[in-house]
Every structure is written in structure tokens, then in C-alpha cells.
Amino acid sequence: MNKEYIRSVVVVVCICLVMGLALALCYHITQPRIEANELKKLNEAIRELFPASVGDPIEIALTPDAPKTLKNLYKTADGKGYVAKINTNSGFGQSTFTVGIDAATMKIVGIKCISYGDSVGLDDGYLPSYSGQDKALADVVSSASPAKKTKATIEAAVRDVFTYLENTEFEEVAQ
Amino acid sequence: MTQNSKMSIFLKGLIKENPVLVLMLGTCPTIAKSNNVFNALGLGLCTAIVLILSNMAISAMRKIIPDKVRIPCYILLIAGFVTLIQMLVHAYFDEMYERLGSFIALIVVNCIILGRAEMFASKNNIVDSMLDGAGMGLGFTGALLCIATIREVLGAGQFFGYDLPFFSTYHFPLLQKTFGGFLVFGIMIAIVTKLTAGKAPLKKDFACQGCPSAHLCHGECKEEKEVK
């Protein structure tokens, strides 16, 4: 009986080790390419949100009290706007968005989806309805898909960015 | 084993024992991701690759894996292969990764993979299991492609994203919705049932083989059903 248990444990542990090694190797090979893809998409989204801005955006160092959903914060080269990269997780899967905010009016210039891992697709009218909104997000389309929980997660993350921008003094990261 | 029987293992997954249209496995991703051909092809190929790899690994380890922990072991192997495929697709086919979203990760819980592991790979050698995985994978991809072609052409007037003359003007957008998925799926099942009349396996013929609790009831549930 004991022998059988030991054998079961050994087999499961061996499978875990072999699959873990295979995954580690695959991660080592694919991660640089995945990061490059993500950076390319981020830069494209930033240029789309602030087409008038010339030069690379300047990254802002996040303070420890930054919201968990805020992954990176950038200021455009001309200082006229902020771009926040947010990660949301509604429980179905992770999604990444970039939010462009006008520095003078503190209104959203636009929001772009970089990756979407939620189970329900984003409706065509949902993200464009963020444009021109302030922190209250009063006129964001509520009837469009995705699911309520997904929308609530995205809206909370965007509000957190506004709160953070209003209450924090930043230092620019040396490029 | 003769060449013919090896060929029959491969071919049975295509129509006679098609996992989607005959065995009724993996219907969730079939309905969800068959709204266009690109998605269907991507999901079908990812599933086929996972199916081939997991069938081969499970077959190779069938004499080592103790019976009591076989299901956790199968899940570990399948989840590992799915994660590998997910990372590779994310790195090299980024557009497909974006379109398929969480459905790549959900291949882990696709009944076809665990079903074939339990019904076939755990009882047969590596080559046969690989052929079974390839046949079933291509059968799944083929079924997805057929449904997706009908839904994209008639529902969106496009094929692979390109507008088609006539259909781009006169199409039926409801076919792009979940309702359309069920409708086309039902029609495809009817066609395949007609084509394989009397040849397709009946559910009761393989139910106990595919059941993870079969060793506990020794097929008594099947006998009870037959008595009723």
C-alpha cells in the first residue's frame, strides 16, 4: 500500500519537474519576443492617442501607493498629456489598456486595448465612449458589451489613474 | 498492426467518429470561436497540436502512471502542453493570440483532449495514439472550419476577412451571433448523422470507456440502463 502511494507521488513529482523545465525553457525563448511585441503595441497606442507629440514618451516612476492596476505611466514629450498602461482582471482573464489623459483639462483623450483576455468581447462602441470623459466617467456607454463585471473593473482602474494623477507628485525616469 | 488499420485510426476522427459532430465533445469553443475562419483555423490547429502531444506523452507513460493518479497526471501533462502552445502563439502569432484570447488557455478543459487520453492514449502505443490525436485534431479543425465558413460567408459576407461579391451585400448577420452558431452546428450534426447512418458509434458503446469512474462501478451503470 505504502509502495503504491510512494510510486504515485514520485510519478506526479517527476511529471511536474519535467513539464516545469519544459515551460521554463519555452518561457526563456519566447519572453523577449513577447515583451518586444508588447512594447511595439504600447508605442503604437501612445502615438495614436497623442499624434501631435513628437519624440519618445517619458516614463514616470510609480510611487509605492500607486494602484495595483496601474503598470506604467508616461508623459508625452511635449508635456501635454499622460498615458497610463493599466492591467485589469475581472476574473475571466487579464486585459491591458492604454489610457490617454489630457494634462490641462484632465479629460480622457482616448483608450486603446493592447491585449484582451476576457471571455466576453469588447463592443465597438464601448472604448470610444471613454473619449472626452473626466474622472466621473458619467457618459461611458453602459449598454454595450462586455459583461458588467468586466466594465466595472475597467472603469475602476481608469478612475484609480485619475485619483493617482491628482494626488501624486512624480519623478521622471531617466531614459 | 497493418497499414490499413493504422490508416483507419487516423481516418475515423475525420467523419465517422468526428469529435465535434459525432462524439459531441468540445462544443463550447466550437460555438464561441466559429464566427470566422481565421479564429476557427487558429483554435483548431492549437487544439490538434495539444491533442497529438498529449496523446503521445500519455501513451508513452501509460505503464508508469498509477491508475489512482492517472487523471491528475493527464491534466498536468495537458495543462503543460497548452501553456507551451500559448507562449509560442503569443510570441510568434500575436494577432491570433489576441483574437483567440482566453480560448487558448481553455483548451486544457476541452473534453476532446481528456476524452481521447482516457479512451485511446492510455490503452494504445505511441504511434497509434499520435495518429488518433492527428485524426481527431484534424476532425475538430475541419468541423470548426466548415461551421466557420458557413457563418462567415452567409453571416458577414466575407471569407478570411475579405469581402465576397453578392454575399457582402446580402448576408444574414444573425449567423454571426451565438444563435447562428447553434443553428449551423445543428445543421452540420444532421448532415453528418445522415452521412454516417448506422456507422457512427453509439454513445452507450463508448460511455464507460470514457468515464473516469468506470473502474469504480465496473460498468454496472451501463447494465442498469440496459435493464431499464
Is the CB of B85 inside 8 Å of chain A's CB atoms?
A: no
Is the CB of B92 inside 8 Å of chain A's CB atoms?
A: yes
Mind listing the pLDDT tens digit for each residue in B58-96? Answer: 999 999 999 889 999 999 999 999 999 999 999 999 888
Is the CB of A22 inside 8 Å of chain B's CB atoms?
A: yes
How far apart, in whole angstroms, are the C-alpha atoms of residue A157 and residue A88? 7
Question: By C-alpha distance, which of A61, A140, A56, A58 is closest to A103?
Answer: A58
Residues of B in contact with A22 (CB under 8 A): 80, 84
| Maximum mean pLDDT: which of A18-32, A105-119, B63-77, B185-199 | A18-32
Q: Can you tell me the mean pLDDT for A101-127?
A: 81
C-alpha distances in Å from residue A4, one per residue of A10, B2, B72: 10, 37, 16
pLDDT at A42 (0 to 100): 76
Q: What is the DSSP letter of B34?
A: -
Task: Lowest mean pLDDT of A28-32, A58-62, B140-144, name the range.
Answer: A58-62
Residue of A16, A19, A38, A95 best to disrupt the B interface, most CBs of B under 10 A: A19
> Who has greater pLDDT, B33 or A21?
A21
Q: Residue B76 is nearest to which of A15, A92, A93, comparing CB atoms?
A: A15
Given the C-alpha cell 513577447, which residue does it identify?
A34
Is the CB of A11 inside 8 Å of chain B's CB atoms?
A: yes
Question: Taking the model in full, what pTM does it have?
Answer: 0.77
Give yes or no for residue B215 having a pLDDT over 70: no
Find, in chain B, the residue whose alpha carbon is nearest to that of A28. Answer: B87
Domain boundaries, chain A: 47-172
Q: Containing H/E element for A155?
A: helix A148-167
pLDDT at B35 (0 to 100): 87
B60 φ, ψ (degrees, to nearest 5): -65, -30
- Average pLDDT score, chain B: 85
Judged by CB atoms within 8 Å, which residues 71-100 of A form the interface with B?
Answer: 92-93
Residues of B in contact with A119 (CB under 8 A): 101-102
How far apart, in whole angstroms, are the C-alpha atoms of residue A135 and residue A127? 15
Q: Residue A92 is nearest to which of B64, B88, B102, comparing CB atoms?
A: B102
Give yes or no for residue A8 having a pLDDT over 60: yes
